[in-house]
C-alpha cells in the first residue's frame, strides 16, 4: 500500500470568474465551502483577508481542523505558494498526518461557464491513512462544490 495520494476534482458553474473568486478567496469563505463536514481555525487577521494578501512561500499560521465543527482531527500549517486573482492558487502545506499537502486550484472559463479544477498531491505520513484520506476528500470536495453552487445561486439572484 502506497502513502502517495493524487486526486483530481472538477465542476462547472454558471458564474463570472470575478464573482466566483469573491466567493472562495478568504479563509472564512473556505470554511463556508467545508461546512458542515470540516472547519478550520485561523488567526483573526487572516479570517477575511484575501488569499492574494497572504505571505507567499511562508507558513502563515497553524490551524486546527475539526470534524463536524466539534471533533479536532488534524493540525495543519498553511502555506500559499502562488495566488493569481480570478485564476486560482497553489498551496503547499503540511500537517500532523501529511508531510506534503499540495493543492492546486485553477479557475477557467469554458463556453460561458466557470470551471474549477482542484488537483491534490498528498504524502500521508502513515500508509494506512491514504485510503481514509481518499474517501474523506471525495466527500469533502463534493460538498465544497455544492456549497460554492449555493453561494453563486444567492449572488446570481441579486
Across 151-158, average pLDDT: 83
* CATH of region 4-156: 3.30.530.20
Paired with 118 in beta bridges are 9, 105
Q: Kindly report, residue by residue over 58-96, the tens digit of the pLDDT.
A: 999 999 999 998 999 999 999 999 999 999 999 999 999
List the chain domain ranges: 4-156
Q: What DSSP assignment string belongs to 23-80?
A: TTSSHHHHHHHHTTTEEE---HHHHTS-GGGSPBTS--EEEEEEETTTEEEEEEEE-E
Give pLDDT, residue 1.
Answer: 53
- Whole-structure pTM value: 0.93
| Torsion from C-alpha of 92, 95, 97, 100, nearest 10 degrees | 20
Q: Kindly report, residue by residue over 24-52, the tens digit of the pLDDT.
A: 999 999 999 999 999 999 999 999 999 99
Give pLDDT, residue 154.
Answer: 87
Amino acid at each position: 500500500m502506497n502513502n502517495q495520494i493524487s486526486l483530481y476534482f472538477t465542476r462547472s458553474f454558471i458564474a463570472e470568474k470575478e464573482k466566483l473568486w469573491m466567493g472562495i478567496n478568504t479563509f472564512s469563505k473556505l470554511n463556508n465551502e467545508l461546512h458542515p463536514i470540516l472547519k478550520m481555525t485561523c488567526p483573526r487577521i487572516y479570517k477575511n483577508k484575501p488569499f492574494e494578501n497572504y505571505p507567499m512561500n511562508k507558513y502563515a499560521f497553524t490551524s486546527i481542523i475539526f470534524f463536524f465543527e466539534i471533533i479536532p482531527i488534524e493540525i495543519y500549517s498553511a502555506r500559499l505558494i502562488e495566488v493569481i486573482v480570478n485564476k486560482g492558487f497553489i498551496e503547499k502545506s503540511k500537517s500532523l498526518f501529511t508531510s506534503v499537502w499540495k493543492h492546486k486550484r485553477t479557475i477557467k472559463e469554458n463556453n460561458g461557464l466557470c470551471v474549477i479544477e482542484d488537483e491534490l498531491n498528498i504524502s500521508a505520513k502513515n500508509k494506512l491513512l491514504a485510503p481514509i484520506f481518499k474517501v474523506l476528500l471525495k466527500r469533502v470536495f463534493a460538498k465544497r462544490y455544492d456549497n460554492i453552487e449555493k453561494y453563486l445561486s444567492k449572488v446570481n439572484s441579486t
